[in-house]
């Protein structure tokens, strides 16, 4: 490609709305252009990067026997109603764009494709003889994200590779899951990324089978907890750890004590002279189920611990059938306005006890009339603890489960693991923290969708069984930007060679110089003949501008037809470390071919 023919515009200044380096650089270097919130045009340079990522994804997926297809992006609501996800995805904080067609039929714009693929499998897969199969597509997904940001990292329209596998049993699912794990490792390595596979939350369906692939970068939206021995790493949403031991309690008899103005744990501990681990903290949440019921949830947890809302959501989802529902729409800490909707009287916030009376909830058909009380394992073992007295400015001390408060029947693990905690496998170790960008997720779904949608097959024994499923996603456009977030310097992007839009840029300092142009054309033709992706900067611009641009757009190798031409040599500069080689004209392209090959192998 000749730069003089390209729509190529670089910006001197960072775009005002860009917060992280990769976003700034991709806009400045003319790879992407914003059209609206979370909406970006992939310009020609970016499209080449995306095509290269896609090619790598296709090669590694095909190698496992997966087959590429393309599914509709417009999805009938009936499918999502069958799976029970229509309400969750369209109401409240739902992320699906929903619309009506001219016949008033409801449709959603695909944020993901479990429903579509399960509907197809239901019609096409009859027998165990057709299993296992794994289908994938690379396609634009639509999600009405609450906070679109960071350019392609969290878009409302983005490119995803999603795969769905079908099996006759768990063992077959596990084997494909492992093949996907390996394929993902190959893909991310080949794209030149520094990544880590971590245990991930798999929602209320539980199971051990979910892993995310994180590109390590400070700008990552996810937090990872890991151990240095390499034996444990998990998304903080999912992470487990050993809590520290509670300090011995200094209380021995049950007493109500005045504790004015101590609505926080820190203040109350100071006032009572106790440690936060001697406290049972009672956190009030409001859960809205898709059946329409609002449920007030009281979580009792040790005072020095925090609630992990992802774990709590999973526990509450398991209880959905108690409230004629299948899912929860939202989980929030109710603010004053929300409280007014259901509170019969003003709540003793900051002083709530585990036994707070259900009379605080006004009679209302859409609100469950009793608190749903859960206790975290950390609070179960406490004795002689301090907690709220259900009266503002008062706490009780020396309390015990069984005597003073009944222990909630639902004992759960909803505790947030934190950096510095002891890992479960090594009580002498310590959890470290890192930030990551989630570029992929592999997931053992089991029969969640097949059961809900009636997708069954006949097994070897002639019995009708629900299909066992797995799903596997890669954020293709997010991955491309994540590569930049990991690889840039003050002058611009440093693309890993395997996904660079061009591998070589030939810079002609003076296009008016006949010899320079002629040699440049010769190298250009040689590169093309050798299968090297080459860009020729034949613009009538100052040399300085061309050098700056070539660094900004991050092409791995730059060939300059400059001063050394007099000695029959060309200057070859490596973008990553700016190292310079002067090579005889005839050896330039063979040398480049070798270097490019080595780069791709190394990653
Ligand atoms: P996140 O936790 O970041 O919101 P997710 O769990 O919703 O992601 P999945 O449904 O597992 O994501 O989608 C598969 C992959 O698609 C993710 O691993 C991620 O790389 C990518 N992805 C998800 N949402 C977006 C988005 N809004 N913009 C760009 N890529 C995305
Ligand atoms: Mg995910």
Q: What is the pLDDT of residues 401-460, one digit of tens each?
A: 999 999 999 999 999 999 999 999 999 999 999 999 999 999 999 999 999 999 999 999
Tokens of residue 112, six digits: 């993901």
Cis bond leading into 132, ω under 30°? yes
CATH code assigned at 158: 3.30.930.10
Q: Determine, yes or no, domain membership for 300.
A: yes
Q: Determine, yes or no, domain membership for 430.
A: no
Q: Which run of H or E residues covers position 317? A: helix 309-318
Q: What ligand has the least distance to the C-alpha of 437? A: 1
What per-residue confidence (pLDDT) applies to 205? 65
Measured by CA distance, the residue closest to atom 23 of ligand 1 is 475
CATH code assigned at 369: 3.90.960.10
Mean pLDDT of the chain: 95
List C-alpha distances in Å: 106 to 79, 80, 87, 301: 11, 11, 12, 43
Same domain assignment for residues 545 and 480: no
Ligand 1 lined by 355 (C-beta under 6 Å): no
From 441, 443, 476, 481, give the residue whose CB has the most ligand 1 atoms within 8 Å, as the site to mutate. Answer: 441
Give CA angle at 502 (496, 503), nearest 5°.
60
Nearest to 240 by CA among 179, 184, 198: 198
What per-residue confidence (pLDDT) applies to 206? 59
Phi, psi for residue 226 in degrees, rounded to 5: -150, 165
Range of the domain at 380: 255-412
Same domain assignment for residues 39 and 169: yes
Q: Is the pLDDT of residue 379 over 60?
A: yes
Query: In the chain, how many domains are there?
Result: 3
CB 258 within 8 A of CB 251: no
Question: Confidence band (pLDDT; 50, 70, 90) for 208?
Answer: low
Measured by CA distance, the residue closest to atom 3 of ligand 1 is 438
Burial class (CB within 10 angstroms; exposed 0-12, middle 13-18, buried 19+) of 264: exposed
Ligand 1 lined by 440 (C-beta under 6 Å): yes
Q: Is the pLDDT of residue 204 over 80?
A: no
Helix ranges, 492-572 (H): 514-529, 543-553
| Residue that terminates a domain, selected from 394, 412, 430 | 412
Give residue 243 CA to ligand 1 midpoint distance, Å: 31
From 211, 313, 478, give the residue whose CB has the most ligand 1 atoms within 8 Å, as the site to mutate. Answer: 478
Same domain assignment for residues 337 and 407: yes
Q: Determine, yes or no, domain membership for 365.
A: yes
| Residue that terminates a domain, selected from 412, 429, 458 | 412
Q: Is the pLDDT of residue 182 over 60?
A: yes
Same domain assignment for residues 183 and 51: yes
CB 571 within 8 A of CB 550: no
Same domain assignment for residues 329 and 478: no
Rounded to an integer, what distance in angstroms lies between the CA atom of residue 27 and that of residue 121? 41
Tokens of residue 83, six digits: 């799976």
What per-residue confidence (pLDDT) applies to 207? 57
* Percent with pLDDT over 70 in the chain: 99
Same domain assignment for residues 304 and 450: no
Rounded to an integer, what distance in angstroms lies between the CA atom of residue 574 and that of residue 557? 5
Q: Mention every residue, 6+ apart, whose C-beta is less than 8 A from residue 348.
A: 356, 388, 389, 390, 391, 392
What per-residue confidence (pLDDT) applies to 83? 93
Q: Determine, yes or no, domain membership for 145.
A: yes
Q: What is the pTM of this model?
A: 0.91
Measured by CA distance, the residue closest to atom 6 of ligand 1 is 441
Lowest average pLDDT, out of 115-119, 179-183, 202-206, 541-545, goes to 202-206
Q: Determine, yes or no, domain membership for 278.
A: yes
List C-alpha distances in Å: 574 to 222, 578, 580: 33, 5, 7
Give residue 198 CA to ligand 2 midpoint distance, Å: 11
Edge-to-edge strands, sheet with 74-76: 74-76, 106-109, 97-100
What per-residue confidence (pLDDT) applies to 88? 84
Q: What ligand has the least distance to the C-alpha of 476? A: 1
Q: Mention every residue, 6+ apart, whose C-beta is less than 8 A from residue 403.
A: 254
């Amino acid at each position: 490609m000749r730069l003089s023919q390209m729509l190529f515009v670089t910006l001197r200044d960072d775009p005002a709305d860009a917060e992280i380096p990769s976003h700034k650089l991709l806009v400045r270097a003319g790879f992407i252009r914003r059209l609206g919130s979370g909406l970006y045009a992939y310009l020609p340079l970016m499209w080449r990067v995306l095509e290269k990522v896609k090619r790598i994804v296709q090669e590694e997926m095909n190698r496992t026997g997966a087959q590429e297809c393309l599914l509709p992006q417009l999805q009938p609501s009936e499918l999502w109603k069958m799976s029970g996800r229509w309400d969750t995805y369209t109401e409240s904080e739902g992320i699906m764009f929903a619309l009506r067609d001219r016949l008033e039929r409801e449709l959603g714009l695909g944020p993901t494709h479990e429903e579509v693929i399960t509907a197809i499998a239901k019609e096409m897969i009859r027998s165990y003889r057709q299993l296992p199969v794994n289908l994938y597509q690379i396609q634009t997904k639509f999600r009405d994200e609450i906070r679109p940001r960071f350019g392609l990292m969290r878009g409302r329209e983005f490119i995803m590779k999603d795969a769905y596998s079908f099996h006759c049993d768990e063992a077959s699912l596990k084997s494909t899951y492992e093949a996907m794990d390996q394929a993902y490792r190959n893909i991310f390595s080949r794209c030149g990324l520094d990544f880590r596979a971590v245990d991930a939350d798999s929602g209320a369906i539980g199971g051990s089978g979910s892993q995310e692939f994180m590109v390590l970068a400070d700008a990552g939206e996810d937090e990872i907890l890991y151990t240095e021995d390499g034996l444990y790493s998990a998304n903080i949403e999912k992470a487990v750890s050993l809590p520290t031991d509670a300090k011995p309690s200094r209380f021995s008899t049950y007493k109500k004590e005045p504790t004015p103005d101590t609505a926080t744990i820190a203040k109350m501990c100071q006032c009572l002279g106790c440690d936060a681990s001697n406290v049972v903290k009672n956190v009030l949440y409001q859960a809205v189920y898709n059946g329409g019921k609002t449920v007030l949830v009281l979580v009792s947890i040790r005072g020095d611990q925090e609630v992990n809302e992802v774990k709590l959501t999973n526990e509450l989802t398991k209880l959905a059938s108690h409230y004629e529902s299948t899912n929860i729409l939202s989980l929030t800490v109710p603010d004053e306005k929300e409280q007014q909707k259901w509170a019969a009287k003003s709540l003793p916030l900051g002083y709530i006890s585990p036994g707070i009376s259900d009379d605080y909830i006004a009679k209302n058909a859409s609100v469950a009339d009793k608190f749903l009380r859960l206790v975290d394992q950390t609070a179960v073992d406490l004795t002689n603890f301090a907690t709220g007295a259900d009266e503002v400015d008062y706490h009780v001390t020396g309390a015990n489960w069984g005597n003073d408060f009944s222990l909630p029947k639902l004992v759960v693990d909803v505790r947030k693991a934190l950096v510095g905690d002891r890992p479960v496998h090594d009580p002498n170790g310590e959890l470290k923290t890192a930030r990551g960008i989630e570029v992929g997720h592999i997931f053992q779904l089991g029969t969640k969708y097949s059961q809900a949608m009636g997708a069954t097959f006949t097994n070897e024994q002639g019995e009708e069984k629900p299909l066992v499923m797995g799903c596997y996603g890669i954020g293709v456009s997010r991955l491309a930007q994540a590569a930049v977030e990991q690889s840039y310097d003050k002058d611009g992007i440093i693309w890993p060679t395997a996904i660079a839009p061009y591998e070589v840029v030939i810079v002609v300092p003076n296009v008016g110089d006949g010899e320079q142009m002629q040699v440049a054309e010769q190298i250009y033709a040689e590169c093309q003949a050798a299968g090297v992706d080459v860009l020729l900067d034949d613009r009538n611009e100052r040399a300085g501008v061309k050098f700056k641009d070539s660094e900004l757009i991050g092409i791995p190798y730059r060939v300059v037809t400059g001063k050394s031409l007099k000695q029959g040599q060309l200057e070859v500069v490596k973008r990553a470390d700016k190292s310079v080689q002067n090579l005889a004209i005839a050896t330039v392209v063979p040398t480049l071919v070798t270097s490019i090959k080595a780069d791709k192998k190394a990653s």
